[in-house]
Structure 1
Amino acid sequence: MEQGLPAVKGFIQQVVEAIAAAIGIEVMVFDLNRNIVAGTGETRVQVGHRFNKGSLTGRVLEHGQPLVARTPGQSLECMSCSRYGTCSRYIVAAFPITVKEKVLGSFCLVAINNQQKDIILANEDGLLRFLERMCLLIASAISERQIQQELNIMLNKYDNVVNSVHEGIISTDYVGNVIHLNRSAINLLGIDNEEIIGKQLTKLFPEFPDIKTFTKHKSTEIEISYSLKKKKKRYFLAVVVPVLTGENGNIQGITISFRNLSEVQSYATKLVGYGKYSFDDILGDSQCVLEVKSKLRRAALTDATILIRGESGTGKELFAHAVHNYSRRSQGPFVAINCSAIPESLLESELFGYEEGAFTGARKGGKPGKFELARGGTLFLDEIGDMPLHLQSKLLRVLENHSIERVGGTDTIPIDVRIIAATNRNLEEMIDKYEFRSDLYYRLSVIPVVIPPLRERKEDIFILIKYFLEKYCNKLDRECQILDECARERLYRYPWYGNVRELQNAIEYAISMSEPGQTILLEHLPQSLLAYHDELVNDVELSGDEAKGKGLKDNREPTTRLRAMEIEAIREALKKFGTTTEGKEKAAQFLGISLATLYRRLKDNEIIS
């Protein structure tokens, strides 16, 4: 990047030509290295050449003082010049060009004949003042150019910073026309820069409020929706709107920053959690589902403890989220903990928190537990049937006293939390076996709710299938696929031991195994569904005439046969994936059940030691 006089040499050349034409004297301008930057007449051809160090202009550049040589080549000022005694100039007047007290060059009037010499001598003082003003003009142009260059550098740095942030950023003028947007905004919104620059912000966001409605000197946080036309998707954006005001206090524009709301919520969930689902997100038109939703809506309006029961995969946590969002606590946190997924030794500190030094490895300053994190909101205790007995008694005291003590602490901490518990275990049977406290059971089941298994609400299966097809095709950026009649019939008749979760996994599997746009066939369904059908056919054949002719008869009850088939499916999955922890995780996923449920099935049926 050119600096100093060379940066404005085009402007200087225009100035010297105008001066030469006005006063009839040749003009030369030198930079700090004695190079001729601009010239007129015969000196113009010398632009770019360098004068010797001992020249008159060299002395002006060195000392920063104006000089006049009335007899160039013979004057004392010219004795150091290599052209001393041979110089063809008649008179030379040189004046330094300075910017911020730093010499950057010199401006010279040069007489190349007696007529021009007479003009200079007749008005020497006036021409020197004129030279000074011309030097100030050039210095001003240089300063302006430097300021512009510094501004450009600053703008480039700003651009780099703005384009490096993850948030989308859009700036508008005082009437709402877009004047700038960063790279993240372009990527998030799927648009080109030219599509929106100069256009109203409401073209992007039709529901965006009028600029005049925003409060001066304050940032506003809003949530708006945006439709990504290229992919036919609808997003929700979390937007922060700071207002820009002028010296008179009038709004000059706004700069909005935004992120996809799902990212914001994902980050918030890691910190505390929130209620992600409402009752509208719970799919199903069956009478039993509608009754459950109606009952939980009424329960949500109270702070009574709720016990949600149901098989694995029925969506118990989904209902818990819906209760939270329908309650007066909806603006508070929703904190969930799975009592079976956390080792017994850690569960107490996870629930109640701990003080510094409570145990080896305890964090300095201690750590709040789930009860404290859920203050003002809802705490969801999933798999409550797997909570150890000693913690059951501690939980009972919390429900009775509405206060906790951290592990290793003595202070009583009051809590304001609504408890929702869930289990797929038979708590009554566990009470008989002294595995679950009866007093805690009654405290938890103030409002008991049973979520029906999917096989008892067959009319909801196709509603769920349609939803999962759209969800996973959209996730893979595919057009929505359909099922052929045989596959639909097989899905409808399957008993769905893993309930909605297993159906969800089956649809995702089928889409993954099929080609984009292809109709989903039987061959694309999970092996467990096909194996069930084959077993069912064998049962029917064995109970037919051929079986009777062979003296064979299956006297097992239907539920016993289903249990046997379930055991066989688990055996096959373990055979396929292995009995390591990782293998069991894959087997559970393959079967459409949780890992905790798989461990219970293994224990209950003594499948492996």
Structure 2
Amino acid sequence: MLDLMDISDFIQKIAQGITLAIGIDTQVIDFKLQRVAGTVYKPIPQNGGVVKRVIETGEYAISTAVDRTSPACLSCNQRSNCKEMGYLHCPIVYGNMVIGVMGLICYEPEHIEKIKDERRGLLNFIQSMCELIGLKLKEEEVRKKEQEIYRKLDSQNQVLNQVLEQISDGYVLLDADNIIRNVNKKALNIFKTDSGAILGKNILELIPDPIFHKMIETESVNVYEKIKIGEESYGALFYKVAERREDLVKILNFKTIINIGSRIAGEAFRENQITFGNILGSSPRMRHLKEIAQKVARTMPNILLTGETGTGKEMFARAIHNASDRCGNPFITINCAAIPMELLESELFGYEEGAFTGAKKGGKIGKFELADTGTIFLDEIGEMPFHLQAKLLRVLQERRLERVGGNKQIRLNIRIISATNRDLEKMVEEGKFREDLYYRLNIFEIHLPPLRERPEDIPLLVHYFIEKYRSFFEVDVSGIDPEAMEHLCRYQWKGNIRELENVVQYMISMSSDSMSGIIGKAALPAQVMEGKNLDPAGREAEDIPLDFKEREALQMKKLLAQYGNTTEGKRQVARQMGISLATLYRRIGKMK
């Protein structure tokens, strides 16, 4: 925050003008009891005197007869040299704080008479001058902030230009009207021109390809298309940067095509753009979970995702992030089980130079700092060492951290989404996970069901994976026969969606010589054909073909046995199945 010393030249002109206008000396003192400006030098008493009282109370003070026997005068170290006969002091207020005092100092009898005769007018005048100083200080603060913003923007633009020049792809930055605002050398080479000839032009005028025009005009975000620029073919990717900015809204990425047959190159760009629409699942339970997750995405600060390995916890975390008001900010993931215990603390919280042997010069920023203003996803949170749980709890409580080897408090504005396939409540009971941390992380829990509890989603997932991987493996397959699909639906999928994805890839590669383009039963891996996986009731799934209603009934019985027949138990069952309590009661009635 600025203070009066930052505008002392301006205040000096005000003081001189006041003295010239009314003939009484003027002085301005700041809240530290330092002289800022004035037409007379009057030493400030050690006890602060009347000026200190005005600063503390925020009220003006007027005197036309100084009492030399008053306690204030008797205790003043300037008493023997003081020639002051009277005064008028007004507080200078800025941002609800008294930051100084402007005073008229009377040394002559005529000064006293002037204050007596024009008391109200002079008081209003000095108060107006104090307000003027406050406005000037605000103006100066705004000016300095603008200078800092321009400095940062200039610095960011320099960094952006340096980064763009190091990238092997062509990059073009557009505004809301598709006007080119920045371009790197690779893109200039593609267009065979220089920056002076291209900046300020509409990108649609430079690339006549109708596919490209459609991509831009329909704003097909994150779509990877093959287009023509001159005589050459390039892969073009279009995506948005900010919805509310007019100066920089869109980015175009042009890749030189060596083998355009695979569009897997676009996957890296699409990864961070996952929404709930990308999460496959039409079962009632999955629809319910997605609805809940969308509701809490904008409200809940900390969310805990639970479920078995391979159920899609990271996809849900990304979708929650992208549905929140933090969607344009960082999404940082860290797997607590994948990083060695001795390195996890420095990865999470960063470290200062010299913090330990082998520490980088200048230190290193941690994942939490990288996630500032955005979301950090702590996967496998149940694997976090107990001693680090205390530090994580402190970060959650205080929203600030200290790097390893440092003592500076770094403020954080982050949302934490954590995930685990372990039973944290049981770990709390066993003393392996801090209870206070558990309740901090688990402000809202979303439990993702295993694939075996929503078999009606399996066909949808299978067809999606076939479409995704058939071009990658260059195998001409378009579907799967019903018998093979039935085997997939009856399999128990201990590895869940991740295992199903691997199995579909295997089946596609095993169907390379299929004349019909249909994946048959013979392409199934041995564990699916021969596995004796048990259904929830303990029977061999391969021996008993079950339809959806039968599977649902078995699931309901299992959950009722787990949670009990109390009202609270039934609420838990309804929550796990993704249905309302009333619907659960109706289905229980049909089972009897």
Task: With the length of structure 1 as denominator, give the TM-score of the two structures.
Answer: 0.49
Tell me which structure has the larger Cα radius of gyration.
1
Task: With the length of structure 2 as denominator, give the TM-score of the two structures.
Answer: 0.50
